[in-house]
Every structure is written in structure tokens, then in C-alpha cells.
């Protein structure tokens, strides 16, 4: 007697195989059988006309603090996501020194822990709504070891490596970097290789928000590949993009470099979200030198007209190798203010504020150094090329589902399936959403559908799946995801969240 039978669905294995018209039987939290005439079950759900596949795995999220929100948050489950990887872009909730929290994103600073293990324990106790695994963030490690200083001593690097090792021992599933952000932008190749070699001890991957996604894109990708090659680790290139008018069309170069690296023996994959705008902190537009010494030093620089002028000269420099922020890739009309402590500014474009755009940006940050925005800098042709490539999976880059945010938080996966995937491409699309990611991060038993697999499943209607969210109203509920299961427990039924916190914090090895 099975616990559950999903009857008469179109079953995708998540490995790219041809779909089967079949039933799926679940027992003891795992898939027990796939086929016909499987026998009786305590519960039967008819899924005729629907696709039954493995639950989606999001390789790039910023849901680190979501388990601590007062109410369970189903925003990923409603997209069919059963597992997500957090701790991306170099920022994790531990290990955090209380003296160095100024440039950890505000939502993380509110849930900072002395060690990553303590964070994992606390998040597990609080209860995630879906499964989560976490990377150890290079920015967080560097802040704990060296503060907001550009230079790092040999002792500081050794301390950083020690903290990384403790994080991996506690269960982190890899190392992440965010090299357009401080203090990660201060790191050189040798520092990154040293940390990646620590990850190598546990056969863990390196995920990177590269040093540049615009004019320095080619060099930044070469650096990421060099880290992976020298350390012998798997490489995940985060949220691929060719950002800014100067590099529109560069997707061909990126895809060629990824393919060449893979042919040469580097186990590289990447991810992308199906949108033409990205979102991040406004301070990242400035050169990294603006932030050296911490928030107080930043505010002093922004209050000094001479310092503003010097920072502008650096920001407008074509020498992308030294880290100049991403001012050069932006047009003032590209910059939409998303979060600011002056609510009258939220939603407006930098071009609408009047006066000199650089001065307006500096004043926005002087008044709120934690301000964030949405940046409309990508081209549809590049996005389509990234989405179609077999090495590139789909990652949301979502933030917490509260306050003004990007529509990718609520709709990445339905948008991809409903807008960019044809029926004949569905097996490959589901592979990119599941097994390709699970393998990269060592999530044993997840990301595929077959006898013995953990019964994390998504059942969706290919004719109605989609998301109508916009940058003005992102938190629209997606459509088409009918049923979702975590280890055989139904957490979405007929498109509605069933309640509760039934996810797990997955530690290294999928434990």
C-alpha cells in the first residue's frame, strides 16, 4: 500500500529523458515506482493533463533570513521550487563579527551569527517553508577576518581559510563570492584560490558573482575559470548577464568561454534569471574605494565635494581591472530606486531626480547608504541566448518576499516555463531546473524523479504556468503550479499553500 499515487500524469525524470504517460507512487517520503497498474494507495490524486517532475532547485537565492520571518513563506513553493541555495554573492549569515556588520546587506545583518553552524541550527529550529542549503560567503568571511580593509595580511588570509573550513564542517555546501561588492572587490586571484582550495577538501563548488558583468566581463570570466582550474573545484557562474549598452551581444563570448573551459576539464555551469533588469544595493554603483574603512568613512566621502569628484573620476575610468563599480554600464534612465528611507523617492528613476545624475546618486546614498534599486541594463537577445544554453540553469537571485522587491522573487520559474519554453523543449528545461543544479551542489537524492529519489515533486499545467508580476507590482501570485510535495508531504494543493514549515536546512552531502 503506497502512501500516495499521482495518477495519469506526464512524467519528466529531470534528467532530460523523454516524458512518460504514467503514474507515480510515493511511499516513506520517496518515489517508490513510476509506471502503470502500480497497485493501491492510501490517497490518489488525478493529474491528467499536468506535468509531474522533480521539484525545482534554485541555485541562486538570497532567502537566508526567510526562515526567521513570523509567518511561513510559500513564495518559492508556489513557483514549484522545493530546494534553494542561499548564501550567494559572497554574503552569508555567518560567521559574523558584530563589529563588522555595516556592509553586510541590511536583511542579513538582522540575522547574523558568530558561526555558520549556529545560523544553520537556528534556521532549522525556526523552520523553513522549503528546503534550503547555504554557501559560505567570501565577503562575510573577509569582514570577519579583516574588516572593511582593502589589504589583508597573511594572518588574515589564514584566519579566513580557518573560518571557511569551520563553515564547511558545519554543513555549508560551497563557497560564494561577490566581487562587485566590498570587501570582496579588494580580493586578488591568490586569495580566491586559497579559499577555493579549502572548499576542495570537501569537494564543494565555487559560485561567483564575478568582478564585472559589463566592460570587464571577459576578464572577470577568465578569473573565475582560473580559480576553478587552479583549485580543482566545480564552478557556478552566478546570474549570467551582459549588462550595459557597451556589451550588448557579449552573450556569445560568455557562452564560448564556458564551453571552452568545460572542454578543457573545468566543471563549469552557470545560472540566469529571465528578466532584463537586475536588482542590488545602490552603493555597488560606486567604486569599491568609496567604502573602504566602513560606513562612516563612506558617508564622510559622500559629504565632501572633492571626494565625490575623485570617486566620479574613478567610476568613469575605463580601467575595469581595478574595480570601479558599475557606473559606466548605466544610463540614468536605467536606474530605478527600489528601497530608500525617503518613500517619496521609491519607484523613481535616477534621471527623474534632476540635476547632475552622479551628484544625485551620491546624495541618495548619503541619506541612505542601504538604499537599493533595479537596473534595466540587459538586452533580450543576450537573455534568450543564455536561457537556451544547456550549461545554464535558472536561478532567481531573489530577496526576502517583503517590501519593494524584484518580480524575480515571486515569478522566476513560472516566467521561464511560461514565456521561454516550448513543449518540445520541456525535458531539457526541467533538467536545467532540477538535476543540473542538484548535482552541482551535491544534493543527493534530489533533482530527479525515479524509484528511490526523494519525493520532492512539482506538478504543473504547461498551458497556464506563468507570472504577471511587474517591477511596480512584483508580488502577484504565479499561475499553473498545481501541487508541490516535500518528501511526499503535500505543501501546495490545487495551487494553494497548505500551511506549516515543512522544509529542512540541508547540510553538506544533502543531510
- Write the pLDDT tens digit of every residue in 433-479: 999 999 999 999 999 999 999 999 999 999 999 999 999 899 999 99
Domain boundary among 446, 481, 497: 446
What region, left, alpha or beta, does residue 58 occupy, with left being phi > 0 and alpha being psi -120 to 50 degrees? Answer: beta
What is the chain's mean pLDDT, rounded?
95
Model confidence pLDDT, tens digit, residues 217-242: 999 999 999 999 999 999 999 999 99
Residue 21, classed as helix, strand or coil, is: strand
b/e sequence 303-339, b meaning 16+ C-beta within 10 Å: eeeeebeebbebbeeeebeebbbbbbbbeeebbbbbb
User: For residue 73, what is the domain's CATH number?
Assistant: 3.20.20.140
293 and 240 fall within a common domain? no
Give the containing element (helix H, strand E) for 6. strand 4-11
Confidence (pTM): 0.94
| 446, 473, 490 - which closes a domain | 446
490 occurs within a structural domain = no
Structural contact between residues 72 and 129, judged by C-beta atoms closer than 8 angstroms: yes
Gap between the Cα atoms of 275 and 173, Å rounded: 27
- Check whether 322 has a pLDDT greater than 70: no
Residue 323: pLDDT band (50, 70, 90) is low
Q: How many domains does the chain have?
A: 2
Q: How many CB atoms lie within 10 A of CB 390?
A: 12
Q: Rounded CA gap, 63 and 415, in Å?
A: 19
∠202-205-207 over CA atoms, to 5°? 145
HSE (CB half, 13 Å, CA atoms) of 135? 36
Are residues 413 and 346 part of one domain? no
CB atoms within 10 A of CB 472: 9
Report the run of H or E that residue 190 belongs to, with start and end: helix 189-200
Owning domain of residue 296: 287-373
| Separation of alpha carbons 78 and 71, rounded Å | 15
Whether 413 maps to a domain, the answer reads yes
Separation of alpha carbons 372 and 63, rounded Å? 17
Statement to judge: residues 232 and 312 lie in one domain: no
Do both 294 and 273 map to the same domain? Answer: no
Q: φ and ψ at 118, to 5 degrees?
A: -65, -35
DSSP designation for 61: B
Instruction: Taking residues 400-404, report their average pLDDT.
Output: 90
**272 has which bridge partners?**
394
Amino acid at each position: 500500500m503506497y502512501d500516495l499515487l499521482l495518477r495519469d500524469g506526464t512524467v519528466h525524470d529531470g534528467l532530460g529523458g523523454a516524458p512518460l504517460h504514467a503514474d507515480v507512487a510515493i511511499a516513506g517520503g520517496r518515489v517508490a515506482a513510476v509506471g502503470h497498474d502500480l497497485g493501491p494507495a492510501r490517497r490518489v490524486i488525478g493529474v491528467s493533463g499536468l506535468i509531474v517532475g522533480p521539484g525545482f532547485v534554485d541555485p541562486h537565492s538570497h532567502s537566508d533570513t526567510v526562515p526567521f520571518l513570523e509567518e511561513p513563506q510559500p513564495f518559492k513553493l508556489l513557483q514549484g521550487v522545493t530546494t534553494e541555495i542561499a548564501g550567494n554573492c559572497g554574503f552569508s549569515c555567518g560567521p559574523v563579527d558584530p563589529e563588522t556588520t555595516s556592509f553586510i546587506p541590511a536583511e542579513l545583518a538582522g540575522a547574523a551569527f558568530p558561526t555558520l553552524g549556529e545560523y544553520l541550527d537556528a534556521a532549522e529550529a525556526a523552520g523553513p517553508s522549503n528546503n534550503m542549503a547555504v554557501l559560505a560567503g567570501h565577503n562575510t568571511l573577509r569582514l570577519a577576518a579583516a574588516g572593511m580593509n582593502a589589504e589583508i595580511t597573511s594572518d588574515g588570509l589564514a584566519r579566513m581559510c580557518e573560518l571557511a573550513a569551520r563553515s564547511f564542517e558545519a554543513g555549508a555546501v560551497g563557497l560564494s563570492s561577490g566581487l562587485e561588492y566590498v570587501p570582496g572587490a579588494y580580493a586578488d586571484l591568490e586569495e580566491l584560490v586559497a579559499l577555493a582550495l579549502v572548499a576542495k577538501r570537501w569537494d564543494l563548488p565555487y559560485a561567483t558573482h564575478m568582478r564585472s558583468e559589463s566592460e570587464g566581463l571577459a576578464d572577470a570570466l577568465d578569473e573565475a575559470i582560473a580559480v576553478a582550474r587552479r583549485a580543482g573545484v566545480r564552478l557556478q557562474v552566478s546570474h549570467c548577464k551582459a549588462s550595459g549598452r557597451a556589451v550588448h551581444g557579449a552573450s556569445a563570448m560568455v557562452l564560448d568561454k564556458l564551453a571552452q573551459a568545460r572542454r578543457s576539464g573545468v566543471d563549469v555551469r552557470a545560472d540566469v534569471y529571465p528578466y532584463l533588469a537586475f536588482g542590488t544595493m545602490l552603493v555597488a554603483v560606486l567604486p569599491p574605494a568609496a567604502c573602504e574603512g566602513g560606513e562612516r568613512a563612506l558617508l564622510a566621502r559622500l559629504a565632501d565635494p572633492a571626494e565625490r569628484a575623485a570617486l566620479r573620476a574613478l567610476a568613469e575610468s575605463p580601467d575595469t581591472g581595478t574595480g570601479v563599480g558599475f557606473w559606466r554600464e548605466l544610463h540614468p534612465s536605467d536606474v530605478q530606486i527600489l528601497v530608500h528611507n525617503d518613500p517619496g523617492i521609491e519607484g523613481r528613476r535616477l534621471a527623474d531626480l534632476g540635476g547632475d545624475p552622479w551628484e544625485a546618486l551620491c546624495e541618495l546614498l548619503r541619506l541612505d547608504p542601504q538604499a537599493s534599486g533595479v537596473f534595466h541594463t540587459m538586452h533580450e537577445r543576450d537573455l534568450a541566448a543564455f536561457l537556451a544554453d544547456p550549461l545554464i540553469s535558472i536561478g532567481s537571485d531573489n530577496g526576502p518576499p517583503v517590501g519593494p522587491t524584484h518580480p524575480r522573487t515571486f515569478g522566476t520559474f513560472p516566467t521561464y516555463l511560461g514565456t521561454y519554453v516550448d513543449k518540445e523543449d520541456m525535458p531539457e528545461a526541467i533538467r536545467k531546473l532540477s538535476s543540473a543544479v542538484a548535482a552541482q551542489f551535491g544534493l543527493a537524492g534530489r533533482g530527479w524523479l525515479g524509484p528511490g529519489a526523494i519525493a520532492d515533486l512539482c506538478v504543473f499545467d504547461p498551458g497556464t504556468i506563468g507570472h504577471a508580476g511587474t517591477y511596480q507590482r512584483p508580488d502577484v501570485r504565479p499561475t499553473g503550479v498545481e501541487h508541490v510535495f516535500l518528501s511526499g508531504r503535500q505543501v501546495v494543493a490545487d495551487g494553494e499553500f497548505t500551511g506549516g514549515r515543512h522544509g529542512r536546512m540541508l547540510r553538506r552531502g544533502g543531510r
